[in-house]
Each structure stands twice: as structure tokens, then as C-alpha cells.
Amino acid sequence: MTKPQKDNLFILIRSLSKSEKRQFKLYIGRLGVNEDSKFLLLFKVMEKLKVYDESAILKEGFVKKQQLSNLKAHLYKQILISLRLNPSHQNLRIQLREQLDFATILYHKGLYKQSLKILDKAKTQAVTNQEKNIAYEIVELEKVVESQYITRSLSNRADELTVQAKILSRQNLIASKLSNLSLQLYGLFLKTGYVKNDAEYQKVTDYFNKRLPKFELSELGFREKLWLYKSYLWYSFLIQDFKSCYKYSRKWVDLFYDNEAMIRLNPVFFLRGYQYLLEALFFIKHHEKFKKALYELEQIVQKSWFPHDENIDGLVFLYVYSNKINLHFIEGTFKEGLPLIDEVVQGLQVHADQIDEHHVMVFYYKIASLYFGTEDYKNAIKYLSKIINNKSLQMREDLLCFSRILNLVAHYEAGEDYELDRLIKNTYKFLIKMEDLYAVQREMVTFLRGLGDIYPHQLKAAFEQLHQKLLTYENHPYERRAFLYLDIISWLESKIVNKSTGYIIKEKFTKSK
């Protein structure tokens, strides 16, 4: 089955609310554009399409194929202009840019005093709200305007602006270096996952220390601290120091609570901070703090003042539902988590344009794990197959590897032995190719490969032997990562005592409380 063709203009039009479509038509009317204008006709046609279909547009006869590309580009631009004028999109950053534009126009008209008045007000607002890149641009324009408009009463103005520019430049430089470091570490994590050995640990540590800029904590504002915590967070994730992950994600979230105005201005960063906090708590299995943080997140996004748009709503869905499933994993309540599956599948359709394919596959892995925990191995295999058969996706190597391991176990449990030999060979080849063959994975593949030679009365002893081997890796600094994706230990214990995996995990959770 071929995937429906994606088109940026079509996706943009489909994302428009009824009020935004109405405003666009009013905006076009104010321009005095004729109702038969080609780009307006194009808008009306594309608005009705369920999927992008170029042939359906050309059939309307108002545009030729060679003209369509330019017409689409023009319509795309007009929609963006209309959206920019919409009050719901008038955030602080846009307003500051607008003030900067106004001041530039006044400067070119020679109205220096008016230009400086707007710039001074905008600069104060920018600095107060941590928009220091725009603040620096404002100061630079102030310097240009002041060179044209000099009065005796402002004799110290040059020194004042020079000092402001120097401070802002320094803070922007630190923020830039920290944001670069954070992004590079995140990219490394997406590509390779956690460090695999001492050599990689040292490499990542050297990489981090070399790129961490020198600074005094007292000179850092909200924005610089945010990037600092993000950098330490990703470094901690890479080296599997999950207690440090909790420490810096907690600092990240608390930074917003200490500067509540920033939640409204930067809701995406706030939400991501909560996601990493929850992920860290999940990894260190701190149930009470996890449950409390998830409750706080669900409550705050429902506040009337909390910002909402397509992007934010997509992230809220992603983070809330991902962690609702994780809560069931912690508690071992797999059966109780099954109703979430329909909600997740529906949500993935609603937010299809906001959630990237990597996160869709992560949801599929979680869904497969829920089914596995309820011993519904057929459905577990169904969702794991969606990940394994996705050849076009570049995603985390560790997730791809453990999808295959869980798939092997699910096939064994489902009694599909005829598939097992082929799957074992394919999985082994894949792991070697990915250079991601760890002791836990190797032991699992070797065990499953040898199952055919074990007599039924020897099975329990074989499970016990593998269980003892794997227990030695449970707290290993690098091997323990295997147990973050698949609780193999609990599965083996379920086979030994002849009870479900969900029962074993739930029993462990109850005892740990």
C-alpha cells in the first residue's frame, strides 16, 4: 500500500481552524482580491480535499501544471501572513519583532526620537522576558539610531549602550554554546542510545567537558540556566546516570516554577522538562514521585491560562499518554492499561502532523509491551512487526534491537516455533550489523536458539540457569540498559514459578512499597 502524498501547503491548510480559515478569507477580502483569483480558488479546492491530489486540482481548470508550483508558493505565503495577523498567534516574540520593524521604519523616515522611544520600551520587555537575542538586536539598532540623533543630555548614552551590548553578547554566546552542546548530545543519544562500554563513556565525557563553556553561575539568567540543565541532563542520560537525570530535570522544572511567566512564554520547554523528569523517575523506579509528577503535569495543562495550539496539544498527548503507560509498567497493572491503547491509537491519528514517526514507533513498543504483559502475544507481535518492518525510519538503535528481542520471546510464548529459527538468525545478523550485541542480548538469543534441544522436563532448570546469569547484569553500569526496555528477569521468574509476567512485576511492586 502506497503512502498518501504529503504536501506542505495541504498540511498547512488542513491544520487551520474554522476561525483561521474565516480570517484568511476576510484578509483576502481586505486586499481587494477578486473572488475568482487563482490562489483563492486553489485554497477553496484544497480546503475540500481529504488527501492531497494534484490531479483533482488540475481538473478544476483554473491553473496549468507548470503554474501550480508558483501558485502554491504564493498561497502558502498569504496564509502565513494571515496567521501572523491573528491575535491568537500574537505571542511576545512576534510582538517584539514587530516593534523592531516599526522602529526601523521610523528610523529610515528620520523620526529618530520616535524610533528610540519604541526601541527602549521593547528592549526592557525583551530583557525582562529573557528574549536576549532580540534585545541584542534592539541595542545594535539603538547604536545606529543614536549615531544619527545625538543630544547633550545623552552624553553618556554611548557608554551605556556599549555596556549593554557587551553583557547581552556574552550571555547570548554562553546560551548559544550550551544550546549547541545540548543539541549535539541529544543527536548522539538518538543515534546510538546509551554508552556501551568504558571507552564510549570516556569519549562522551571528554566530548562534554571540552564543549562546556566557562561561566559564573551568578551571571546566568533563566535562558542560560535552562540550556545548562539540558546539557547536563543529556550527558547524564548518555552515561546512564539516572539519578543525575532526575537532579537536572528537577532543576529544569523548578526553574520554570521559580519564573512562572516563562511557562506561558515557553510552554514547549516546560513540557519537555516534565517529560524528562518523568522518564528519569521511571528509570529509577520512584513510584510515588513519578505518580505525583504525572498528576501535576495533567493538572497544569488543564489550567485556563496554559497556552494551547496544535504543537502544544500534540506534545501534551505524547507526554501524558507515554507516562500513563509507564505508570502501568511500574505497577505491573498491564491489564488495567489496555484501555489506553485505543486512546493512544486515536490520538496518534488526531496529532499525525505533530508527532514524528520515531515517537509513533516508541508508542508501538509500549503497546506491544502492554499486550506482552497480559500474555496477548499475537497483538504484541503485531505492533512489534510495525517497528521491525519499518525500513525507512532512522531511530534509536537500542529500541530497534530490543523490539527484535521482545519479538523473539513473544513468538516463543505464542508457540510459533516454525518462525523461531528464522527470526533468531535474522535478529543475530541485525545485532551484529548494528554493533549492538551486548551480554544480555547474546544470552537471550543463545538461550532461545537452544530451546529446541531442551526436553520439557529440563525447561525449568534452563530458565533458572539463564535467570542466574542475567541477574549478574542487573546492576551493571552498561548492561542494565537492557532491563529498561524489557524486564527479562521478571519474565524468566514467571516461567520458573509458572505465573504471568504481569503478576510477578505487580508482586515486586507491592513488596517494594
Q: Would you list the DSSP string of 250-272?
A: HHHHHHHHHTTHHHHH-HHHHHH
Which residue, 66, 89, 112, sits at the end of a domain? 89
Please name the residue that has the C-alpha cell 500474555: 375
Please name the residue that has the C-alpha cell 532448570: 461
Within-domain flag for 46: yes
pLDDT at position 26: 83
pLDDT at position 391: 76
Together in a domain, 101 and 146: yes
Together in a domain, 102 and 147: yes
Q: What is the mean pLDDT of the chain?
A: 85
CA–CA separation, 197 and 214 (whole Å): 28
pLDDT tens series, the chain, 513 aa: 344 457 889 989 988 888 888 888 888 877 766 656 888 889 989 988 888 888 889 888 888 888 899 999 999 999 998 888 776 666 788 889 889 999 999 888 888 888 889 999 999 999 888 888 888 888 888 888 887 765 544 567 778 888 888 888 888 889 899 999 998 998 887 777 788 888 889 999 999 999 999 888 888 889 999 999 999 999 998 998 999 999 999 999 999 999 998 998 889 999 999 999 999 999 888 999 999 999 999 999 999 999 888 889 999 999 999 999 999 999 989 999 999 999 999 999 999 888 888 889 999 999 999 999 999 999 999 999 999 888 766 656 667 878 888 888 888 888 876 777 788 778 777 777 765 566 777 787 777 777 667 777 777 888 888 888 888 887 777 777 667 766 788 888 888 888 888 888 888 877 776
pLDDT at position 36: 61
Together in a domain, 19 and 73: yes
Residues 6+ apart with CB under 8 A from 410: 368, 372, 377, 380, 381, 384
Together in a domain, 99 and 73: no
Give the three cell numbers for residue 478.
552498561
pLDDT at position 35: 55
Please name the residue that has the C-alpha cell 535467570: 467
**Number of domains making up the chain:** 2
Together in a domain, 42 and 26: yes
Together in a domain, 82 and 109: no
Which residue, 41, 60, 89, sits at the end of a domain? 89
User: Residue 115 sits in which domain range?
Assistant: 92-155
The number of CA neighbours under 13 Å toward the Cβ of 202 is 3
Together in a domain, 14 and 46: yes
Within-domain flag for 217: no
pLDDT in tens, 32-73: 666 568 888 899 899 888 888 888 898 888 888 888 999 999
pLDDT in tens, 159-215: 888 888 888 888 888 989 999 999 899 888 777 778 888 888 999 999 999 999 988
CB-CB neighbours of 109 under 10 Å: 10
Within-domain flag for 118: yes
pLDDT at position 122: 92
Together in a domain, 67 and 139: no
CA–CA separation, 182 and 226 (whole Å): 10
pLDDT at position 2: 42
pLDDT at position 153: 45
Which residue, 106, 125, 155, sits at the end of a domain? 155
Within-domain flag for 19: yes
Together in a domain, 128 and 144: yes
CA distances from 499 to 68, 390, 427, 471 (A): 63, 34, 27, 19
Q: Of 426, 429, 441, 445, which Cα lies nearest the Cα of 196?
A: 441
Contact 96, 125 (CB under 8 A): yes
Q: Of 2, 15, 9, which Cα lies nearest the Cα of 352?
A: 15
Q: What is the dihedral of CA 195, 407, 280, 237, to 10 degrees?
A: 20
CB-CB neighbours of 78 under 10 Å: 18
